[in-house]
Amino acid sequence: LLMLDEPFSGVDPIAVSDIQKIVMELSASIRNYIKQHKGSCEVIPAPFAVHLDEASNTYVEPDISVICDPDKLTDRGCSGAPDFIVEVVSPSSRRMDYLNKTGLYLNSGVREYWIIDPLKKYTTVYLNEQDPAEFAPIIFPFESSIKVGIFSDLSINISRLL
């Protein structure tokens, strides 16, 4: 939540609504896929606490978390790494999403991490299960269909969500 005492400036209000729409539509697309395939994974949009380190009280709130191990869901949120995390970049979260959270998520065991950037109109995908010798992000323009790595037959086209 961002609250300002001064007029909303420097941020295109359309971008803010695009961020919310992407989170809503992508969450629904993944949830519908899981339901159609009678899967057990849960799709939970923010606000939702993810405790990557179970021994710590520190948590993050990804825009979308997909958790396939029901034992990780607690009354506090998610205890341990979700299988799939999506962050939709806003002007205020750009540095955090690209720099800080990437290492944090991948080092904690998140299997797949997407950074959706409405300003640049591309999605950066990190697949943590790649061969470490070949590990590198894959960047997709919004018009591309992106295969979701944790599901064998789900592809998402971000431009169709807008």
* Helical H segments across 70-157, by residue range: 94-95, 101-108
CB 111 within 8 A of CB 128: yes
- The two tokens of residue 27 are 């969450």
Cβ atoms of 43 and 64 within 8 Å: the answer is: yes
DSSP secondary structure letter of residue 26: H
Pair 56, 38: CB distance under 8 Å: no
pLDDT for residue 6 is more than 50: no
The least confident of 47-56, 61-70, 127-136 is 127-136
pLDDT at 139 > cutoff 90? yes
CB neighbourhood size of 74 (10 A): 12
Rg (CA), the chain: 16
Write down the mean pLDDT value for the chain.
88
Per-residue model confidence as pLDDT tens digits over 82-136 = 999 999 998 888 899 998 999 899 889 999 999 999 989 999 999 987 776 677 8
Q: Name the pTM for this structure.
A: 0.88
pLDDT of 41 above 80: yes
pLDDT level of residue 1 (50, 70, 90 thresholds): very low
Measured CA to CA, the distance from residue 148 to residue 56 in angstroms comes to 30
For residue 112, CA distances in Å to 5, 7, 10, 65, 102 come to 37, 37, 32, 10, 10
Adjacent-strand bridge partners of 44: 65
